[in-house]
Every structure is written in structure tokens, then in C-alpha cells.
Amino acid sequence: MIKIDQHSFGRTAQGEEVTRTLLTNRHGMEVALLNYGATIQAIRSADRDGQLANIVLSCDNLEDYERQSVYLGAVVGRCANRIAGGRLLLDGNDHQLTINNGDNHLHSGDSGFHAKVWEQSLNEYDDAVSVTMTCYGKDGDDGYPGNVEVRVIYTLTDDNIFDIRYSAITDKTTVVNLTQHSYFNLAGAGTIHNHQLQLDAEGYLPLNEQSTPLGHVQTVEDTAFDFRTPKTIGRDITGERHTSECAQQLTMARGYDHNFCLPSGAQPETRRMGEVWEPVSGRLLTVYTNQPGVQLYTGNYLEGTPAPEGRIWNNHEGFCLETQGWPDAPNQPGFPSITLQSGAIYQHHTCWIFDCRSEG
């Protein structure tokens, strides 16, 4: 029987009440959600022996969530990833966005949805439970045009499926590109180097020294970025086994922090994009999405981030699979558009399926 429980998680520095909502299905799988940043605070799933562990990186108090800067478990938007120079050209108008990452605008700056308290409502069904969260962005927030209303529906089913559906509307032409920034560690602790990753991506976006795309799609063939056949995340993370170009890309980013280009048709449909398997625990995560890209980020700058029980997270203790539009799309005419017109509806669907298997 699926269950839901909700209690206070404290107040923000501005005095806003934050709640923690715990969803539990008939298998004992648990998902804990905060309405601060629409954050996934915990996902407790069973290993092959039935032992539960939290498989996402988290903090255990609100103060730590407010002071960490790596977007632990939050919904990122209105525009995820980097925009070069913070330059946004829409309808012939130039908008200057906040610069908060070298020379770039990253994850919507200080007014991003990751740092807001969302409205929420609960819905219970026979075999699932969902939480609907709603947030608002104002015209001019960090330089973005248009008032935006964003909604995310989180649903946990009795089949160990966690479903994420985003939508957004605006009153003025703007950009919307939402993602979920959970860091996974399917072992529950330690490095993620031994996780076996498979991605259905034929190409990736190489980066310049400012970590924004050079503007072309590079084939993954014969590179460290080829995950079409499962391999461990740590196998090629330094690029040393490959060309100097691969080594340069991975050295600059201190690991993977690149957009992988997913196959898509004229009408985007939700499709399987890949999976991750952790051999010691046997935990398996399979991901479906309707987005054109996924940012693989291997936690290259986690060091010093507050962790539960007074500990800190270290680099490469978690990885993100951020399903989204391509980075810097407003400045790259050949990239899939992330522009949202007034009267149109942004829709994004990502689905995580949790399971176990004994062998890869």
C-alpha cells in the first residue's frame, strides 16, 4: 500500500516554511521531497539483498541546503545549464543575464527556481502518489523577460517508477529549459567510478575553455564519450586512453560535464535514453525522456559540500543525468530551440525506473 507523510523541515533565512513530504510504495521504496527548490532530498531503494539505502546525495537540514551551491536534488530553471556571456537574444531584443559562472550565466542565477519555496498539493491513487509543485518567475528576474509559471508533478508508483512531468507558460517570449539536478550514487556511498553507464547518444557537444559549447556536434565514435556500450564511468574519465582532444575536454571539466545529444524525431516522444548499473549493490536505474539532450556531470566540484551528519561530499561521489535542452541554445542557431512563446506550453517528461539485477 502506498503511503504519504508530511512534516515541517524548518524555515528559510527569509522565514518561509519548508515541508518534507515522504512517499513510500508497497516495496518499501521511499522518496523524500522538499518544497524548497522542488528538491529530491532522498530516494531509498533496495539492493539485491533487499537492503535500503539513500541513493541520492543530500543534506539533512535546511540551513545546509541554503548554503550549498551545487544544486543538490533541485529543479533548475527557468533555464538550466550555461548561457555564454549571459547574452540572450529574443525577438531582436538583447537581454543581459546575471553572470555567475566565470563569464557565463549558469542555472538561472540567484533567482532560479532551485532557491525558491514552491506551492504544493498532494494526490493519492490506488497504485501511486503524486506531489504537484508550482513556482513563479517574474519578468526581469536575473535579466529574463516574461512572467513564467512553472509546474512539476512528481509521481511514485508501486512499480518503483518515479515519474517527473514539467510544464510552463509565459506572458512574453522567453526561454525555458528545466531539469532535475539529483546526484546519484547507486551504491549509497563512495566513488561513482565503478558505476556502469550506457547512453543512447551518437554525439556530444565539445566545450571551450569557458565550458560553453563550441557550436558543433562531435561523434562519440572512438572517444572517451562513447557510452553506447556499457562501461564504467571511471574508465575514461581522465581521457588518457584517448586522443589529446578528449584529454583536454575532460581535464578542463575535471571529468564529464558535457551534453550528450539524444536521437529525436520531428515530434519528441518519451523514449529510453540509457541506464546505470552498480555491480556491488545490483541497483539499476533506467531513464526515459522526451528531451533532446542529457548533461552527464560527474560531481567534479562537489568537494566541501555539506553532507548528512556533519560530513562533506567529495568529488565524484555522485553523478547527474540532467535531461534538458542543449546548453547555450539561444546563441547557437543550429541547436534545438528552447524559446517559449506567449500562449505556448513547455512540456518535459522524464521517468526513472529503479530495479536490481545480479549481472550487467
Ordered domains of the chain (ranges, CATH): 3-356 (2.70.98.10)
Helix ranges (DSSP H) in 167-308: 244-253
Q: Give dist(CA 170, CA 145) in Å, integer.
A: 9
- Average model confidence (pLDDT) across the chain: 96
Report the distance separating Cα 324 and Cα 295, nearest Å. Answer: 7
Cα gap 101→84, rounded to integer Å: 10
| Catalytically active residues, by annotation | 181, 322
| pLDDT confidence tier of residue 1, bands split at 50, 70 and 90 | confident
| Averaged pLDDT, 6-29 | 97
Please, what's the largest Cα pairwise distance for the chain? 59
- Model confidence at 359: pLDDT above 80: no
Buried b (16+ CB within 10 A) or exposed e, 331-346: bbeebeebbbeeeeeb
Please determine, for residue 214, whether its predicted confidence score (pLDDT) is greater than 70: yes
Eight-state DSSP code of residue 98:
P
What is the average per-residue pLDDT within 179-200?
A: 98
Residue 184 C-beta-side C-alpha neighbours within 13 Å: 25
- Checking if the pLDDT of 93 tops 80, the result is yes
Q: How confident is the model at residue 119 (pLDDT cuts 50, 70, 90)?
A: very high
Tell me what pLDDT residue 240 has.
78
Task: Say how far apart CA 172 and CA 88 lie, in whole Å.
Answer: 14
Confidence of residue 360 (pLDDT cuts 50, 70, 90): low
* Cα 16 from Cα 65, distance rounded (Å): 14
Q: Nearest Cα to 80, choosing from 340, 326, 350?
A: 326
Q: Is the pLDDT of residue 228 over 70?
A: yes
Closest CA to 137 of 97, 182, 187: 97
98: Cα within 13 Å, side-chain hemisphere? 15
Q: What is the pLDDT, as a whole number, of residue 244?
A: 84
Q: What is the pLDDT of residues 229-277, one digit of tens each?
A: 999 999 999 877 777 889 999 999 999 999 999 997 656 789 999 999 9
Distance CA 355, CA 192 (A): 18
Please tell me the predicted confidence (pLDDT) of residue 266.
55
Q: Tell me which residue of 106, 111, 45, 30 sits closest to 70, measured CA to CA.
A: 106
